[in-house]
């Protein structure tokens, strides 16, 4: 019988898995490494893990035998059937109270199902968001665990040791029940899509509208990174813009078709499912879809007319408008993301700590930024805050920046430069601050063609139908919606 020596096992030795193992080893935990292709285990032990306390296993049975109780097993494998496949193989080898952790980008509905199914078998399941890429995995990721709360005391020491720290506080805490951890990670990734698209639009305006060269643009992003926009994505944009190889600036030779792995799309779908207007993330997903139509765009560029203008005004002054527009749009994006979190929490009875989530995103992850500290403060001040835009700090920031957002979007429209994310941020802001929207006409239209009824001001809750044409009926539709 093998003596249990390992604190945790990790299945999946791609770059994220290997780096997380080495990170855990650095913090004094003994990790058992396993991979379906066992040659990878041998190679990892002889190379990257050489000289560490990492132990290997060449079968699931051997791996389980090396684990201390309660057994903790983390999966870093492709989301979907692969996760279910490993769970099915592991369950017969485990005991009551053992813990399986899925650290991949799984859909939150799958995590909900797995948590509930495994609880019936006495196994504690955790679905944890892991953000920060390979560098974060190695030196401190942002971790967002959710699932069966009974598992948290057993994984907390490991997770809070290996995660990133922000002002000494761990960028990891228990998120909530069932699929909450993966839902929060999904929204994180959606916000990441939004941040990246906003930055790309600012770059597009600088390059095509202002005619700045890559070094000049890099200098602008470098300056912006010293203020309220201080963030990982602004920092790497500064570095990407000025990067040169033997042929010159590399960025200008990269094909302009964006890839995506699905988490931004999932966020947009969830927004539609829950009826929350997360417009900026939605537009960011569609912008990637449009970029992939490169052949059609190239053909359209020779056929379709539009302005081909260059900005004629004071460039320095306009860059300040652009900076403020980017900041205002970023605030809108996060406000929308937290609206979606709040609605999901209400529907699934998750007890989400919104300030804690902002702290989890302060370090280690792709959207880490100084600005998240202000979000944490907003929720610390008022845990029942319904919308970030109603917090004093963010309301004041929007007051100072909204005029610049208008100048920026209007200028981009005049120059013929597409700004789907910047434009929708402004449209949402104006919609949200409008006490009376034109949906009264929309309701009248629905009632006219489909007898869908409407409510009158002052008589809310009472639904009435009008025979608008005189030859329609007086019976309203109650069995379907259009």
Residue 184 neighbours by CB distance under 10 Å: 29
Is 35 annotated in a binding site? The answer is yes
Question: Cα separation of 10 and 243, whole Å?
Answer: 36
**pLDDT tens across 153-178, in order?**
999 999 999 999 988 989 999 999 99
What Rg do the C-alpha atoms of the chain give, in angstroms? Answer: 26
Write down all domains in the chain, each with its CATH number in brackets.
8-174 (3.40.50.720), 185-433 (1.10.1040.10), 437-481 (1.20.5.320)
pLDDT higher than 50, residue 262 = yes
Where does the pLDDT of residue 480 fall: very low under 50, low under 70, confident under 90, or very high at 90 and above?
A: very low
Angle at the Cα of 466 (from 460 to 468), degrees rounded to 5?
140
Is 244 annotated in a binding site? The answer is no
pLDDT higher than 90, residue 313 = yes
Q: What is the mean pLDDT of residues 462-477?
A: 82
Q: What is the mean pLDDT of residues 464-474?
A: 83
Question: Cα separation of 113 and 91, whole Å?
Answer: 15
pLDDT higher than 90, residue 261 = no
131 sits in the region (left: phi over 0; alpha: psi -120 to 50; else beta) called beta
CA–centroid distance for 424 within its chain: 18
Asked if the bond preceding 70 is cis, omega within 30° of 0, the reply is: yes
374 sits in the region (left: phi over 0; alpha: psi -120 to 50; else beta) called alpha
Q: For position 366, what pLDDT does the model report? A: 82
* Catalytically annotated residues: 185, 192
302: buried, middle or exposed (CB in 10 Å: 19+, 13-18, 0-12)?
exposed
Q: What is the mean pLDDT of residues 31-50?
A: 96
Q: Are 103 and 20 within 8 A, CB to CB?
A: yes
Helix axes 392-415, 372-381, angle to 10 degrees: 140
Where does the pLDDT of residue 291 fall: very low under 50, low under 70, confident under 90, or very high at 90 and above?
A: very high
Q: What is the mean pLDDT of residues 373-383?
A: 94
Is 37 annotated in a binding site? The answer is yes
Is 17 annotated in a binding site? The answer is yes
Q: What is the mean pLDDT of residues 206-226?
A: 97
* Whole-number average pLDDT of the chain: 94
CB-based burial, 386-411: b 16+ in 10 Å, e otherwise = eebbebeebeebbeebbebbbbbbeb
Is 33 annotated in a binding site? The answer is no
pLDDT higher than 60, residue 481 = no
Q: For position 167, what pLDDT does the model report? A: 85
Q: What is the mean pLDDT of residues 414-441?
A: 97
Q: Are 233 and 366 within 8 A, CB to CB?
A: yes
Q: What is the mean pLDDT of residues 74-84?
A: 95
């Amino acid at each position: 019988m093998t003596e249990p020596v390992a604190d945790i096992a990790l299945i999946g030795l791609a770059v994220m898995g290997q780096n997380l193992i080495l990170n855990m080893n650095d913090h004094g935990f003994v990790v058992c490494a396993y991979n379906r292709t066992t040659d990878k285990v041998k190679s990892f032990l002889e190379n990257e893990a050489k000289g560490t306390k990492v132990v290997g296993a060449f079968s699931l049975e051997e791996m389980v035998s090396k684990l201390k109780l309660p057994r903790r097993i983390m999966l870093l494998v492709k989301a979907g059937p692969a996760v279910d496949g490993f769970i099915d193989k592991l369950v017969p080898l485990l005991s009551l109270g053992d813990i399986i952790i899925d650290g991949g980008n799984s859909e939150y509905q799958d995590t909900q199902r797995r948590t509930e199914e495994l609880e019936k078998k006495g196994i504690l399941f955790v679905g944890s968001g892991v953000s920060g890429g390979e560098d974060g995995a190695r030196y401190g990721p942002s971790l967002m665990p959710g699932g069966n709360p009974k598992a948290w005391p057993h994984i907390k020491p490991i997770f809070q040791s290996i995660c990133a720290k922000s002002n000494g506080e761990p960028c990891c805490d228990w998120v909530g029940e069932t699929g909450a951890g993966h839902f929060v990670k999904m929204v994180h990734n959606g916000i990441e899509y939004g941040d990246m698209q906003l930055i790309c639009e600012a770059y597009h305006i600088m390059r095509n509208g202002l005619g700045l060269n890559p070094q000049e643009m890099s200098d602008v992003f470098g300056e912006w990174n010293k203020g309220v926009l201080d963030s990982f994505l602004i920092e790497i944009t500064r570095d990407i813009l000025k990067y040169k190889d033997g042929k010159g600036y590399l960025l200008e030779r990269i094909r302009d078709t964006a890839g995506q792995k699905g988490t931004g799309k999932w966020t947009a779908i969830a927004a539609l499912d829950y009826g929350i207007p997360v417009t900026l993330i939605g537009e960011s997903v569609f912008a990637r879809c449009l970029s992939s139509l490169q052949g059609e765009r190239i053909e359209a560029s020779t056929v379709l007319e539009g302005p081909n203008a260059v900005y004629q005004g004071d460039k320095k002054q306009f860059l300040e408008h652009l900076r403020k527009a980017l900041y205002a749009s970023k605030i809108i994006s996060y406000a929308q993301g937290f609206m979606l979190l709040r609605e999901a929490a209400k529907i699934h009875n998750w007890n989400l700590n919104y300030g804690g989530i902002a702290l989890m995103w302060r370090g280690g992850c792709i959207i880490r930024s100084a600005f998240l500290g202000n979000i944490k403060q907003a929720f610390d001040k008022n845990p029942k805050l319904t919308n970030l835009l109603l917090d004093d700090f963010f309301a004041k920031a929007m007051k100072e920046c909204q005029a610049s957002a208008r100048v920026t979007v209007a200028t981009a429209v005049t120059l013929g430069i597409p700004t789907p994310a910047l434009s929708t941020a402004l449209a949402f802001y104006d919609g949200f601050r409008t006490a009376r929207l034109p949906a009264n006409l929309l309701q009248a239209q629905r009632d006219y063609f489909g007898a869908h009824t409407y409510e009158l001001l002052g008589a809310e809750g009472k639904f009435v139908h009008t025979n608008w044409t005189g030859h329609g009926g007086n019976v309203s539709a109650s069995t379907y919606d259009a």
